[in-house]
Amino acid sequence: MSNKKIFVTQPSLAPLEEYVEILRGVWERGILTHNGPLVQQLEKDLESKLGLDYFTVVSNGTIAIQMAIKALELKGEIITTPFTWVATVSAIKWEECTPVFCDIDPDTLNMDPAKIEALITDKTVAIMPVHVFGNPCDVEAIAAIAQKHGLKVIYDAAHAIGSTYKGNSLLTYGDISATSLHATKLLNTAEGGGCITTDAALDARLKRIRFFGHDENKDIVEDGFNGKLTEVHAALGLANLKYYDEVLEDRKNKYQYYIERLQEVEGVRFQEVKGGETNYSYFPIIFESEEQLLQVEKALNAADIFPRRYFYPSVNTYTKVVAYQACPVSEDISERILCLPLYLNLKEGEQDKICEIINTL
Ligand code: T4K
């Protein structure tokens, strides 16, 4: 085995020649952006591959969340999870809403639906859960609470392309799902993202917001901004999409192999997937203590293996950005969770080495 460094992830990339072949058309047309033919093709192909009504591709996953908030005209408090990447919360803040943190379920790592209602006030306008590491939230319980209180639901589905619930793409749930096509995600356009909805009028609005608020005559009819994806990025998405099934299957196998090899390790447990199917996009392990985590991390780093502490620290503790609200479960889990390397090019011998190091500590 080579001594190359092993990171938490590596982008899944189609063969370069296939990407270049798609780019040839971009060069010929000279259309680089502004809802070009490849962006439209990518949207159509994603809709049919994932069984979605409307997928509007955008320039990144953070903008997708902001666009969802804008399209639903939300102003007020948004109940979200502290166990996430900071982008969930910064998007809420950039849209001048206030994040209110709901603690998580210690097993699924998703927002605990039983804790939502106590946080609802007369200022609450929406719930924004995250399908953490692609693990489906309890979408039915969340929909019932939202309906009872007249709230919108936006899913931060940054990790969730490929996850399903009752056989449907997880992205079909909520008023809007906002996903990411970042380099580190299951399907990538280098940078990119998308807003998914089942509502045609809402989708048309999202497309206007993405493009400065223009209508088809270039009149300004919305408070829009620039959320466009370029043709060069869409080309990469189209090239990579051809390998989507292979990537998903490979991750599933590697995810299950980790479970087999690590389930006997003392003091270690895994994220619980209930009521749906994950896309196996991350492999988090939860230790008994931060001390145990640090010991494992140190041993892996010494072998040039670099897992990541997703998500650490818990976002409610970023006091330069948010007012602290206690979320003891998220704060506790954040300190003792580590995501192991998981990607298409991770070799069997490399995965064995990771498991051996963890097993022998
Ligand atoms: N909501 C949630 C729940 C999210 O997790 C995210 C993003 C968002 C919203 C916002 O979506 P975007 O606006 O990003 O589309 C990464 C990603 O930058 C970020 O997209 C992701 N979540 C977050 C969980 O992870 P870092 O700081 O860990 O990335 P970095 O550069 O350390 O990369 C991790 C490893 O991946 C590296 O060790 C090497 C490898 N890598 C990375 C890049 C960028 C490559 O091999 N090639 C690459 O091009 O944030």
**Does position 156 have pLDDT exceeding 70, yes or no?**
yes
Thinking of the domain 244-360, which architecture would CATH place it in?
Alpha-Beta Complex (3.90)
Mean local confidence (pLDDT), 187-198: 98
Share of the chain above pLDDT 90, in %: 97
Residue 85 bridge partners (DSSP): none
What confidence score (pLDDT) does residue 89 get?
A: 98
pLDDT band at 3 (very low <50, low <70, confident <90, very high): low
Q: Is the C-beta atom of 64 inside 6 A of ligand 1? A: no
**Mean pLDDT, rounded, of the chain:** 97
Backbone phi and psi for residue 42, each to the nearest 5 degrees, phi listed first: -60, -40
Distance from the CA of 250 to the center of ligand 1, in angstroms? 20
Our answer on whether the CB atom of 227 is closer than 6 Å to any ligand 1 atom is no
Binned at pLDDT 50, 70 and 90, residue 216 comes out as: confident
Q: What is the pLDDT of residues 92-104, one digit of tens each?
A: 999 999 999 999 9
Q: Are strands 268-270 and 283-287 parallel, antiparallel or unpaired?
A: antiparallel
Instruction: Please report the atom of ligand 1 found closest to the CA of residue 7.
Output: 38
Q: Which pLDDT score, from 0 to 100, does residue 11 have?
A: 97
Q: Quick one: pLDDT at residue 186?
A: 96
Q: What is the pTM of this model?
A: 0.98
Residue 205 Cβ < 6 Å to ligand 1 = no
Q: Which atom of ligand 1 is nearest to the CA of 10?
A: 46
Whether 341 lines ligand 1, by a CB cut-off of 6 Å, is no
Mutate to test the pocket of ligand 1, among 10, 85, 342 (most ligand atoms within 8 A of CB): 85
Which CATH architecture is the domain 16-241 placed in?
Answer: 3-Layer(aba) Sandwich (3.40)
CA–CA dist 236, 227 (Å, integer):
18
Residue 361's pLDDT is what? 81
Average pLDDT over residues 316-332: 97
Tell me which long-range contacts 244-252 makes (C-beta under 8 A, separation of at least 24).
244/49, 244/162, 244/186, 244/187, 246/344, 247/12, 247/186, 247/187, 247/344, 248/162, 248/186, 248/279, 248/280, 250/344, 251/186, 251/279, 251/280, 251/281, 251/342, 251/343, 251/344, 252/280
Query: Relative to the CA of 130, which ligand 1 atom is closest?
Result: 3
Å from CA of 180 to ligand 1 middle: 10
Q: Is the pLDDT of residue 2 over 90?
A: no
pLDDT of residue 225: 95
Average pLDDT (232-261) is 98
User: Ligand 1 within 6 A of 180 CB?
Assistant: yes
pLDDT at 1 over 70: no
Would the pLDDT of 54 be above 60? yes
Q: Which phi-psi region, left, alpha or beta, contains residue 194 (left: φ > 0; alpha: ψ -120 to 50)?
A: beta
Decide: 311 in ligand 1 pocket, CB within 6 A. Answer: no
Distance spanning both ends of the chain, measured CA to CA: 22
Per-residue pLDDT of 258-311, as tens digits, reads 999 999 999 999 999 998 999 999 999 999 999 999 999 999 999 999 999 999
Do 54 and 200 meet the contact criterion of CB atoms below 8 Å apart?
yes
For residue range 62-92, list pLDDT tens digits in order.
Answer: 999 999 999 999 999 999 999 999 999 999 9
Domain boundaries, the chain: 16-241, 244-360
CA 303 to chain CA mean position, Å: 29
Half-sphere exposure of 341 (CA within 13 A, CB side): 24
CA of 25 to the centre of ligand 1 (A): 29
Q: Is the CB of 161 under 6 A from ligand 1?
A: no
Measured from the CB, is residue 59 less than 6 Å from ligand 1?
no
Is the confidence at residue 178, as pLDDT, over 90?
A: yes
In testing the pocket of ligand 1, which one of 59, 154, 184 has its CB within 8 Å of the most ligand atoms? 184
